[in-house]
Amino acid sequence: MTQNFKNLKVYGESFRLSKDLYLFFHDKKMSFRTKEQVLASASSICANLAEMAAFDSKGAIKQKVTTCIGECNETEYWLDLMHELKILPQREHIDFLGRLVKIRSMLFNLKRSVEGG
């Protein structure tokens, strides 16, 4: 399944979300650790997709997609925490979560296609 990862729609969606999160949190006064965690988990989605594109083994590809799904879950946790702590306003929380849910759905579809069903 060697391919140009930039042609994957899920890569494009996750890259844009990662960039938008970075731009939103860039100048926010908040715990560096919290900011670092949400940006790391969000950027890991597209970084893992880029790495996955070099794999030939279906099993390795499936595992990397599963890792991406886990990174989506971690990103959701950080967004929820930041919303609860009043760092992330309601409107942005809903927007970012909606985009993340779409990405996670795309990843589950990719995983199913790798599994052959």
Question: What's the confidence (pLDDT) of residue 88?
Answer: 93
Domain count, the chain: 1
Q: Which stretches in the chain have pLDDT values below 50?
A: 1-2
pLDDT at 28: 75
Q: What is the CATH number of the domain that holds 28?
A: 1.20.1440.60
Q: Could you report how far apart the first and last alpha carbons of the chain are, in Å? A: 16
Check residue 31 and give its pLDDT.
75
Distances 84 to 29, 60, 89, 99 between C-alpha atoms, Å:
16, 36, 9, 19
Give pTM, 2 decimals.
0.92
Q: What is the pLDDT of residue 115?
A: 87
pLDDT for the residue numbered 2: 45
Domain holding 67, by residue range, is 5-115
Quote the pLDDT of residue 117.
59
